[in-house]
Chains A and B, each alone.
Chain A
């Protein structure tokens, strides 16, 4: 099997296509070898080496804009995938008891390592039909109100909360405004700020502005290596400040929206490594990485009294921001 990796690769997106191609080839070969074609093992080793080299190159050279593409990658694992692969016996709860059930947010109880927990996250949907049902992961007020309802339950039953952030932003629409999008987001942020239970948030893909933060006020904030978290989308910022949508890559760079930058700015606590080439190439490995990280985080909080935890959470957010004082 000849490997054509000598083509000129212009962007990491091209590399990504190549990597996906390689992944399926590797999987195929692995099966063949398992079936007894031992002589092909050298081919497999070579392919793996090629994959690693290429993936490393990609990770090193990746621009902020390319990370944006990766964070939005159609095959990137979503909240639903993490729930299915990290937790067991997830029972989804529906509705805000006031207006409706917003499928852009999933919420419920599950077990994590055998212990009962609450899980809440944005869900973008996978195929076209599901994406429309879930409004591409852009919640309405009722979504945040459902999330708050489940958070309150978690507090009542003293269950830790895991949130997963993956949204372009809260939905900008007529109904959303009429039903109080601002109020819903503000309430959720305030509630999380004083909720008497452990909260761990993970930005798994796109952390889009207030709609993301509404699930993001936590004791520990994790972020996957190729995820982004921003006050405004690079496209939006480009249109307003640079007067041109085409400047989105520049805006992405200047906004400092990558995990690495956010860690430096003290906004997130931990960057979770993704498998080489990105979470979508080896999702199983991604689940293992994240599960391990979440387990560690939870363990570190175990002995902290709840009032102390809340105090620390509030102090942490109070410290965010930089200014001059003379």
Chain B
């Protein structure tokens, strides 16, 4: 599990930082897109409909109308408990990621309205160490859920993660239990939980809160699964079929409820909230 998954696909797709007045080559159709057009179009290629990855703040802007908070728990920061060092120190990796993204860790817990419905929106950011789940992601998710329960609000999670954060070892594994137990509490309180799986959603995030949604939505062509494609190929010694572990494949196999184009995501979420809550 873990970073293995996303690393194998990392080269395929990148959360590009879109600067104003820039031409960007679409990773799918290779056409050039003017950056401002891309931003106006929710980072969807106007030529082929390819969904570029979104950062957490971009996602929040795209879904919430009345933003009460971008992040309810901004003061939580990762801690290098194990003094972990691989080719780099975990401490340095954290700093780098923080500088690059302006975030403290890979998740933001936003609060606001989707059209007219008040929600808690947990959004992961793949740019921050591959959206990996460590102690901070787990804790913020739990606090977000507690906030939703206290205020009787629907909870929506937008996932983007390579899996558990290896640098926090067993503590990151335990976040799977922590977040899943939190989802159980939403259930006990009769609150709606929608999970929106975006590219990529793998490993420990996939095998915990991502797949526990009352309703599971995925963005087109997102890579979603437990084990990374390369790990599977090594295990079975076969090439995987085209489209394996993509959103459309999962829909066909009955693993998710729907594949929703980013342009229709807000409207779909709003409708579902109206149909289930209140």
Hey, which bits of chain A sit against chain B, CB under 8 A? 169-174, 176-183, 185-187, 189-190, 193-194, 209-210, 213-214, 216-217, 229-232, 236-237, 239-243, 251, 254-257, 262, 265, 267, 314, 317-318, 320-326
Nearest B-chain residue to A268, judged by Cβ: B170
B226 and A189 form a contact (CB under 8 A): no
Q: How far is the CA of A323 from the CA of B210 in the complex (A)?
A: 22
B86 and A254 form a contact (CB under 8 A): yes
Q: How far is the CA of A324 from the CA of B7 in the complex (A)?
A: 27
Q: How far is the CA of A262 from the CA of B173 in the complex (A)?
A: 12
Q: How far is the CB of B183 from chain A (nearest CB, A)?
A: 6
Which residues of B are found within 8 Å of A240, using beta-carbon distances?
2-4, 7, 166
Other contacts beyond A209-B164, A210-B208, A242-B86: 10, CB < 8 A: A173-B232, A177-B227, A213-B174, A232-B1, A243-B87, A255-B82, A265-B171, A267-B174, A317-B181, A324-B78
26 A–B contacts, CB within 8 A, in A order? A172-B228, A173-B232, A173-B236, A174-B236, A177-B232, A177-B245, A180-B253, A186-B211, A189-B176, A189-B177, A189-B180, A189-B207, A190-B181, A190-B183, A190-B184, A193-B177, A194-B181, A210-B1, A217-B181, A237-B86, A262-B170, A267-B170, A314-B181, A317-B174, A321-B171, A323-B77
A236 and B206 form a contact (CB under 8 A): no
Q: How far is the CA of A243 from the CA of B7 in the complex (A)?
A: 12
Hey, which bits of chain B sit against chain A, CB under 8 A? 1-4, 7, 75-79, 81-82, 84-87, 134-136, 138-139, 142, 164, 166-178, 180-181, 183-185, 188, 203-204, 206-212, 224-228, 231-232, 235-236, 240, 244-245, 253, 255
Nearest B-chain residue to A216, judged by Cβ: B177
A180 and B174 form a contact (CB under 8 A): no
A321 and B174 form a contact (CB under 8 A): yes
Q: How far is the CA of A295 from the CA of B96 in the complex (A)?
A: 49
Q: How far is the CB of B212 from chain A (nearest CB, A)?
A: 5
Q: How far is the CA of A242 from the CA of B86 in the complex (A)?
A: 6
A182 and B176 form a contact (CB under 8 A): no
Q: How far is the CA of A176 from the CA of B255 in the complex (A)?
A: 12
B171 and A322 form a contact (CB under 8 A): yes
B166 and A177 form a contact (CB under 8 A): no
Which residues of B are found within 8 Å of A262, using beta-carbon distances?
170
A317 and B177 form a contact (CB under 8 A): yes
B170 and A321 form a contact (CB under 8 A): no
B226 and A254 form a contact (CB under 8 A): no
7 shortest A-B CB distances, which residue pairs? A172-B227, A321-B135, A241-B86, A193-B181, A320-B174, A181-B226, A231-B173
B1 and A169 form a contact (CB under 8 A): yes
Contact partner, A182, options B79, B136, B164, B206, Cβ 8 Å: B206
A236 and B2 form a contact (CB under 8 A): yes
